[in-house]
């Protein structure tokens, strides 16, 4: 039984590590929320609130967590080639979290770039633009937030964690909503408008940016 459970976990992780053929559109996100389990939805919801409201206050912890997740993903990709996904993810996650501590400045720039890439790609997919060039929108977002991190680290951290937290919050709420069949049909109707989901992410993000700016010091502690 333990071997079967381990094999099932490794298979699940392997599918998680696989990159999609193209950046998911609105229907892909809706399908993801429909298939989400309640535990995942609650984790996203709780994490989204922390990221959204305390992204700068808990900046070091969030940076380490993000770098650990990125390290785990890269480690899993490397371990996948050797048939050792779980050890690869554990080692990669540990190294990512540890390295982020003495290299906090670079970690902020990396986080900002990745969040910018995801935001830019989502904006590109929302607008009536060629889906095969979604990477171009992503690179615009990557360059913008990465360059912003050299100018104002504080606002870079606020914007990055605000967008990340707002996205997690909205996906968690949708995941919980789709647990109830009576709400699912209504949600599908509301989300049929391609601009509803982006607006639902941007509005909480702006509120989070304003809250963080009002409740945190003028400068973020970043080792350059």
pLDDT one-digit tens code per residue, 5-17: 455 555 555 555 6
pLDDT one-digit tens code per residue, 127-176: 888 888 888 999 999 999 989 888 888 888 899 999 999 999 999 999 98
**DSSP summary character for residue 103:** T
d(CA 140, CA 99): 27
Q: Please give the share of the chain, as a percent, with pLDDT higher than 90.
A: 22
Share the mean pLDDT of the chain. Answer: 82
Residues near 204 by beta carbon (within 8 Å), at least 6 away in sequence: 52, 165, 166, 169, 170
Distance of CA 76 to the CA centre of its chain: 18
Comparing CA positions, the residue from 208, 97, 89, 216 lying closest to residue 159 is 208
- Band (pLDDT 50/70/90 cuts) for residue 85 is confident
d(CA 158, CA 219): 11
Torsion, Cα 152 158 161 167, to 10 degrees, reads -120
pLDDT one-digit tens code per residue, 19-41: 666 667 777 778 888 888 889 89
Q: Please give the share of the chain, as a percent, with pLDDT higher than 70.
A: 85
pLDDT of residue 49: 93
pLDDT one-digit tens code per residue, 59-73: 788 888 889 988 888
d(CA 149, CA 170): 26
pLDDT of residue 45: 93
3-state secondary structure of 220: coil
Rg over alpha carbons for the chain, rounded to the nearest Å, is 18
Q: Alpha carbon of 43 to those of 2, 16, 53, 134, 165: distances in Å?
A: 26, 17, 16, 29, 12
pLDDT of residue 202: 92
Comparing CA positions, the residue from 15, 40, 28 lying closest to residue 172 is 40
pLDDT of residue 224: 47
Q: Does the pLDDT value for residue 83 go beyond 90?
A: no
pLDDT of residue 4: 47
d(CA 53, CA 122): 22
Inter-residue contact 80 to 17 (CB < 8 Å): yes
d(CA 1, CA 11): 15
Q: Is the pTM of this model over 0.85?
A: no
**Is pLDDT larger for residue 196 or for residue 15?**
196
Q: How many residues does the chain have?
A: 224
């Amino acid at each position: 039984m333990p071997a079967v459970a381990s094999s099932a976990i490794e298979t699940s992780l392997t599918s998680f590590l696989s990159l999609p053929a193209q950046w998911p559109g609105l229907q892909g996100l809706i399908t993801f929320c429909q298939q989400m389990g309640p535990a995942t939805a609650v984790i996203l919801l709780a994490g989204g609130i922390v990221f959204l409201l305390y992204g700068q206050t808990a900046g070091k912890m969030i940076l380490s967590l993000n770098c650990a997740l990125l390290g785990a993903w890269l480690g899993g990709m490397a371990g996948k080639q050797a048939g050792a996904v779980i050890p690869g993810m554990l080692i990669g996650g540990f190294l990512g979290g540890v390295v982020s501590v003495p290299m906090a400045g670079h970690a902020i720039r990396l986080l900002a770039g990745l969040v910018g890439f995801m935001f830019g790609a989502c904006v590109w997919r929302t607008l009536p633009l060629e889906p095969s060039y979604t990477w171009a929108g992503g690179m615009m977002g990557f360059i913008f937030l990465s360059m912003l991190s050299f100018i104002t680290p504080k606002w870079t951290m606020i914007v990055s964690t605000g967008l990340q937290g707002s996205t997690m919050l909205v996906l968690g709420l949708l995941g919980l909503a789709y647990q109830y069949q009576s709400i699912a049909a209504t949600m599908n109707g509301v989300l049929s408008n391609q601009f509803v989901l982006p607006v639902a992410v941007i509005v909480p993000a702006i509120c989070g940016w304003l809250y963080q700016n009002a409740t945190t010091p003028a400068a973020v502690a970043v080792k350059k």
